[in-house]
Amino acid sequence: MKATAVLAQKSTGLLAAAIISACGLFWFGHQSPANAANGAAPPPPSVEVVELKPQPVRTWVDFSGRLSAVESASLKPQVSGIIQKVLFTEGQEVRQGQPLFVIDPRPHEAALMQAKAKLASAESQYQLARDELTRAQQLLKQKLIADSLFEASVNAEAVAAAARQEAQAAVARAQLNVEYAHIAAPISGRISRAELTQGNNVEAGANAPVLAKITASKTLYAEFNVDEASYIKMVRKTSVLRDMPVQVRLAGEQADAYIGHLESIDNHIDATTGTIRARAILDNAKGELTPGMFAQIRLGSAQELPALLIPDKAIGTNQSKKFVMVVDDKNTANYREVTLGDFYDGQRVVLAGVQAGERIISNGLSKVRPNTPVNPTPSAPAVAQVSH
C-alpha cells in the first residue's frame, strides 16, 4: 500500500510540473517583446518596384520568305556555230562586259566581208544612177530628152538607193553576228557552270540552249507575304515604304541578321490567301547569301513610338489572363489585368491596363496577395534591348 501511494504521489507531481511548464511557454510566447509591444501581424513582405515610363520602341512583325536575285540573266547563243572558248570558271564573280564564251567567228567574219563587198557594189551602182539622173535633168531643161526618159532615170536612182540601203543593213547584220560570236556578261554577278563546253555546236533561235546563268550577288531581294491586318497597319502608319527597316535571318540562326529596308508592296491582295506580296532589299556585300534561301524576315515600323515596357518576370498568369501588381501611394499591392504586346528581351509592351507613373512589382510577385501592404524598394528602371 505504501509503495502504491508513493507512486501515485510521484505521478501527480510530474503531471503538475508539465502543466506549469506548458503554461509558462504559452505565456512567454504571447508575451514576446515585439508582439507585446504592438500586437500586430508579421511585417509586410519586401518587394522591388519599377516606375513605368514611356520609352521609344520600334515594333516588329515576323514573316517567312525566300531570297531572290535583284538581277539575273540566262546566256543563250544569238548565232549558230561551234563553241571555241569558255573564258570563266564555275561560280566566278564576273563584271558586266567581261568575255565569257567565243563561238567560232570565222563563218560570220566571212559573211561580213561578203556583205561589205555587196555594199561597195551597191554604192557604185547608186553613184552611177545619181550621175545619170543629173545629166537627165540638164537634158530635160534643154528639152533634148522626152519626159519618159527622165522619169526612167529618176526611178533608176531610187532603185539604186534602196539597194544601197539593203547592202548597208546586210553589213550591219553581219557585223552584229561577229559581235554575237563573242558572248560577254550582260550584268555583274556570280556565274553558274558552263552548261555547254568547248567543241559543242549550238544553234540560235527560239530553242537555243542556255549556256550559263548569272545572278547579281551584291544585293538580294527578300520576298514574303504580308497578311491583310498587318498590311493595313503598315500603310496607315507609313507613307514612305523605304523608311521601314528589315532584318533577315537564315533558317536556324538567331544571332546575326542582314539589314535592309522595304522596297515594294504589290498592288492587290490575293483573295485565295488573304495576303499581299512584299519585297525587301538587303545588302550582300560579303556574298554569303544566295537566291532561293529560306529566311526569317522581321519588318520594323518606320518610326520609334513611345510605349510602356515591363519586365517579363513582373507578369503573372491567372488562367488565360495576364496581370501585374500595382503598388499605390499607400504601399498596397493591387491586382491589375493587362493586355500585352511585343516581347523585347525580357520585357513586354503593355497595350492596356497600366499607365505611366504607376509603380509595379518587378521582383517578389510570388510573396504578395492582392490588397495587402508591401514594403517597396526601387529597382533599376526597365530598358528595352531592341536590335536596330
Nearest to 261 by CA among 278, 241, 239: 241
The CB density around residue 380, as the number of other CB atoms within 10 Å, is 9
State the pLDDT at residue 236: 79
State the pLDDT at residue 90: 94
List pLDDT tens digits, range 167-203. Answer: 999 999 999 999 999 999 999 999 999 999 999 999 9
Task: Give the separation between CA 18 and CA 8, rounded to whole angstroms.
Answer: 16
60-70+218-300 architecture in CATH? Beta Barrel (2.40)
73-213 architecture in CATH? Beta Barrel (2.40)
* Conformational region of residue 205, where left means phi above 0, alpha means psi within -120 to 50, and beta covers everything else: left
The CB density around residue 87, as the number of other CB atoms within 10 Å, is 15
Domain boundaries, the chain: 46-56+306-378, 60-70+218-300, 73-213
Q: Low-confidence residues of the chain, pLDDT below 50? A: 1-37, 382-388
Contact between 258 and 306 (Cβ < 8 Å): no
State the pLDDT at residue 18: 43
73-213: same fold as 60-70+218-300? no
pTM of the model: 0.65
State the pLDDT at residue 187: 95
CATH C-level class of 46-56+306-378: mainly beta
